[in-house]
Amino acid sequence: MSKRGEKVQAEVLAILSRQRGPLTAYDVLGELREANPKIAPTTIYRALAVLMDHGRAHRIESLNAYIACQCNGHRQASVLSICDDCGAVEESVAPSVLKELSRIADKSGFAPTRHVIELHGLCEACGNRQMPS
C-alpha cells in the first residue's frame, strides 16, 4: 500500500465521518478537490474499496452512497436504518438477523457471499416531528 493511498483513505474516512448521512463517491470527490483539484475519481473509488475491505466504511446499496462505520469493528454485515426524510443512517450489528438469513439460505442450498440489510423509513426524530403527540 502506497503512502499516498493511505493518505487518501484517511481523508475519505474523515469526510465520511463528519457526515450524519451517506455521501456518494462524487460528494467525496468534490470535497477532496477543494484541497487537491487534480484528484481522480478512480483514486476515490480505490480508497473507498480499501476502507470497505477493512470494515471502516460501508456502502449503502439502495442509495449508491457510503458511510463511515459507526461500530467498533465487526466482521459480519450490519443492519443499516436509513431515514428517507433527514438522510441519517443508523448502523446496528445484529448477529441473530444474519443467523436467520443464513438458515433461510441454507434451506434452498443457496450460498450467499455477502449480505445487504437496509431499512428505509423515518428516524425517531423525524417520526416525532411528523406525528406530534
Enumerate binding residues for Zn ion (CB under 5 A). Answer: 69, 71, 78, 83, 85-86, 88, 123, 126
Cβ-based nearer residue to Zn ion, 47 or 88: 88
Cβ-based nearer residue to Zn ion, 97 or 126: 126
* Smallest separation, CB 36 to Zn ion (Å): 27
> Grid cell 503512502 — which residue?
3
* Smallest separation, CB 122 to Zn ion (Å): 6
Measured in degrees and rounded to the nearest 5, phi and psi for residue 89 equal -120, 130
The one-letter amino acid at 115: H
* Smallest separation, CB 69 to Zn ion (Å): 3
Cβ-based nearer residue to Zn ion, 65 or 83: 83
Closest to 35 (Cα-Cα) out of 63, 15, 54:
15
* Helices assigned H by DSSP within the chain: 3-18, 25-35, 41-53, 95-107, 124-130
